[in-house]
Structures are given as C-alpha cells and as structure tokens.
Amino acid sequence: MSAPDPEFEKARKRRSYAIALGLVVFVVLVFVITIVRLGGNVQHF
Amino acid sequence: MTEAAVRTTAPARWQDYVQLLKPRVMSLVVFTGLTGLVCAGEPMHPLLAAVAVLCIAVGAGASGALNMWYDADIDARMKRTRARPVPSGKVQGADALAMGITLSLLSCMTMFIAIGWLAASLLAFTIFFYAVPYTMWLKRTTPQNIVIGGLAGALPPVIGWAAAAHAVPLNAWLLCLIIFMWTPPHFWALSLYTSADYGKAGIPMGPVVWGAKKTRLQILIYSLLLIPVCQVPVFSGLGGVIYAAVAAPGGLMFLLLAWRLFKSQAGEGGAVGETGLYEVKAGSTDARNLFAFSILYLFALFAALLVERLLNMPAGLSL
C-alpha cells in the first residue's frame, strides 16, 4: 500500500478541524437558543 | 446515479465545499425566506429570527449538496455544470452525500429546537421534495420537472412565515404561488438557449421534448398566469403602494418580453448550446432577456414587500 499523499493528508486534517469547529459552533448555538427560549418562558411565570 | 467523478490530483479546497451548497440559489432562498418571515409581522426575538433564516439557508445548501451528489453523472455531460465540485472530481460523491445529509439533519433539528415543529416540518419537506421527487425522479423523467419541482423553491417564504407566526395563512401561500408560477417561464427561457446541453445529458426539458416553438408558447401561457397572480398581494393586504408600483409595470415588461420571445426564433436550429447563462447567439437573445428580467422581477417584488413591511413596522418591534 502506498504512503498517503501529504497534500491530501493536510487537506484531511484541515477538514477535520473545520468539522470540529462546526460542531462547537452548533453546541454553542443550541445553548444560546435554549437560554433565549427559556428566558422568554420564565417571564410568563 | 453513476459515480462520474474521479479524484483529481489536488485536494478539495473549502471553496469547493461552498460550491456544493449552490450559494447563488441559496442567496435567493434566504432572501425570499426572510421576506416571508418579515411579512408575517409577528414580534420575534432577533436571535431566533437569525437562526430561522440560517436554518433555511443551510437547508437550501443541503438540498444543493444532495442534488450535486445524485446528478454528478448528468452534470458531467453539460458545459454549464461540468465544473461543479463532484463531476470535476474536486469533491468525492460520498462526501457530498454525507455533507447533504448532515446539514439537512442539523438545519431541521435546529429549526425545531429554536422555532417549533411547523417550520421544521416545512423545512424537512422542502429538502426532501427537492432531493427525492425532483432530483431523483421528475428531473430525468418529465418535461413537467421544473413545474412540479418548483414547489421546493417556492416554499422558503412559507417556512419564514411559519417561523415567525407559527401558522401559514393564505398570504404566505400567495408568496409561494408567485414563485411557483414564476419558475416555469424562468427555467424554460434558460433551457431554450441551453437545450443542446440538456439534450446531451438526457434531461427532458421543454425544448428537448416539445421543441422550441411549443416551449415558447408554454412560457407565454405561464407568464399570462403569473402576472395577475403577482398583482393579488395588492388586494390581499400583503402589498401596498410600493409593491403595486413594482408589480404592475414590471409585470407588463415581463409580458412584453414573453410575447417577444414567443414571436422570436429562440431555441431554433443553431441558436442553442451555449456555455454561459448570459452568453447567447443572436437568435436566442429574447430568451436570455426574459431569463435575466425574470430574476430581476422576482427580486424586485420581494424587495418591495420587505421594504414596505420594514417601513411600516412599529418602533420598538423586533422584526
């Protein structure tokens, strides 16, 4: 089996970082949405 | 679907992944979705409004990625689409599929968490309708593909409205109907000067199946139906003076261009098979003119509604 192309390896690593960053953004977004929606409902009590 | 792509020597760049999301289509979808959201006239937290528009954008991008994954074989046969990331080999088909499915799930889930089940269901249905009935079935089997499939492109303002109001009244469906009726003359005008491409790819667009003359007649008939529909918001309370000032003269211009196209020889003989959206031979300029004006007209109609709603919005009301 031939060694992986370093250019493709680098691109794969960049892609992995981008996916990780996307997941972090998604988690933060869900957290902020929860706070906003919770805030709105708490006011009704 | 056959895997048409081969891996190129260069690894994919981030721009290739952006291209998978069809950014030009996405921008129109975001604009019409935002218009629906604003026209609902319901108070909404700005962050939730932004999240709703983001979900519509990501959902549209996901549909684009799924479409490019499935259509890689026919995209490779058309000049207009062969440079797309999958047929050109820049992005693997499996990656496009994974991206499409992941973004579909994330956008619908987020819409559900942030807004509610109605907007999320409509978004899920829109993605499904574009990816499965339109892309996998209608596009390759019937010249009515863009008539029926046009529903997917027409739904974003309904999703936007549902996100703001948690309901979809008649005015929301009116926005949907405008885009639905606009789609056939828009795409058939394009297909008149790219029919050689569509024919080569085996896509049964109007000019390929019916011939140019019948397609020009169909464009005229749909234009005659579209323009009265575009005037209805003036009477339904959705549009006001600004909208009327755009819809009426713009509609007349649309009809004039459709009539000129009907009387022209566009799509006949050597006037087809061009590479760009706006580069055509002399015989097909009438088709190009209607195609270009149709984009401007739809944009102007929705911009008029947006401006009117924003001008009439009570002070202190967020969206």
Task: Split chain B (319 residues) into runs of 10 and give each run's mean pLDDT.
Answer: 52 88 93 96 94 97 96 91 91 94 97 97 97 94 92 97 97 97 95 83 88 94 97 95 97 97 84 50 83 96 95 63
Amino acid B5: pLDDT: 47
Cα(B130)–Cα(B138) distance, integer angstroms: 10
Burial letters for B87-106: b for 16+ Cβ neighbours within 10 Å, e otherwise?
A: bbbbbbbebbbebbbebbeb
For residues B88 and A43, which has the higher predicted lDDT (pLDDT)?
B88
What pLDDT was estimated at residue B3?
Answer: 47
Q: What's the confidence (pLDDT) of residue B9? A: 59
Residue in A with minimal Cα distance to B114: A33
B46 touching A (Cβ < 8 Å): no
Question: What type of residue is B9?
Answer: T
Q: Any chain A CB within 8 A of the CB of B235?
A: no
- B188 CB contacts (<8 Å, ≥6 apart)? B146, B205, B206, B207, B215, B218, B219, B222
Taking CB atoms and an 8 Å cutoff, what residues of chain A touch B110?
A: 26, 29-30, 33
Q: Compute the nearest-CA separation of B136 from chain A (Å).
A: 28
Indicate if the pLDDT at residue A45 is higher than 90.
no
Cα–Cα distance for residue pair B160/B166, rounded to 1 Å: 10
pLDDT value at position B37? 97
Quick one: B122 and B215 in the same domain?
Answer: no
Considering the domain architecture, whether residues B142 and B212 belong to the same structural domain is answered as no
Are B68 and B88 spatial neighbours (Cβ–Cβ below 8 Å)? no
Q: Which residues of A touch B16 (CB under 8 A)?
A: none
Domain-terminating residue out of B118, B149, B168: B168
Asked whether the beta carbons of B135 and B67 are under 8 A apart, the reply is yes
Q: The tokens 């933060």 sit on which residue?
A: A28
For residue A21, pLDDT beyond 60 = yes
Residues of chain A whose beta carbon is less than 8 angstroms from a beta carbon of chain B are 5, 7-8, 10-12, 14-15, 18, 26, 29-30, 32-34, 36-37, 40
B81 and B204 housed in the same domain: no
The answer to whether A7 contacts B11, with C-beta atoms less than 8 Å apart, is yes
Q: Which residue of B has its CA nearest to A27?
A: B110
Find which of A9, A28, A30, A35 to mutate to test the B interface (most B CBs within 10 Å of its CB): A30
Quick one: B242 and B177 in the same domain? yes
Most distant CA pair in chain A: distance in Å? Answer: 65
- Does B74 share its domain with B144? yes
Identify whether the C-beta of residue B5 lies closer than 8 Å to the C-beta of residue B71: no
pLDDT (0 to 100) of residue B274: 46
C-alpha distances in Å from residue B11, one per residue of A7, A43, B6, B191 = 7, 52, 12, 33
Which of B13, B45, B113 is closest, CB to CB, to A40? B45
Taking alpha carbons only, the member of B219, B226, B228 closest to residue B143 is B219
For residue B128, what are the contacts with CB-CB under 8 A and spacing of at least 6? none
Q: How far is B11 from chain A (nearest CA, A)?
A: 5
Residue ending a domain, choose from B147, B168, B189: B168
Q: What is the CATH number of the domain that holds B10?
A: 1.10.357.140
In this structure, the answer to whether residues B145 and B286 fall within a common structural domain is no
Same structural domain for residues B174 and B89? Answer: no
Q: Cα–Cα distance between B296 and B26 in angstroms, integer?
A: 16
Domain count, chain B: 2
Residues B55 and B194 in one domain: no
pLDDT at A43: 55
Among B12, B113, B114, select the one facing A11 at the smallest CB separation.
B12
User: Are B162 and B176 members of one domain?
Assistant: no
Structural domain span for residue B76? 1-168
Residue B106 sits in the same domain as residue B241: no
Q: Are residues B47 and B72 in the same domain?
A: yes
Contact assignment for A36 to B45 by CB distance below 8 Å: yes
Q: Which residue has the tokens 């007209």?
A: B297
Distance (Å, whole) CA B61 – CA B82: 19
How many contacts, defined by CB atoms under 8 Å, are there between A and B? 32
Residues whose CB falls within 8 Å of the CB of residue B138, separated by 6 or more in sequence, listed in order: B144, B145, B148, B149
Q: What end-to-end distance do the CA atoms of chain A give, in Å?
A: 65
In this structure, the answer to whether residues B213 and B174 fall within a common structural domain is yes
Q: How far is A29 from chain B (nearest CA, A)?
A: 9
Q: What are phi and psi of B274, to 5 degrees?
A: -90, 165
Two tokens, residue B97: 């599929």
Choose one of B145, B168, B191: the last residue of a domain. B168
pLDDT at B46: 94
ipTM of this predicted structure = 0.81
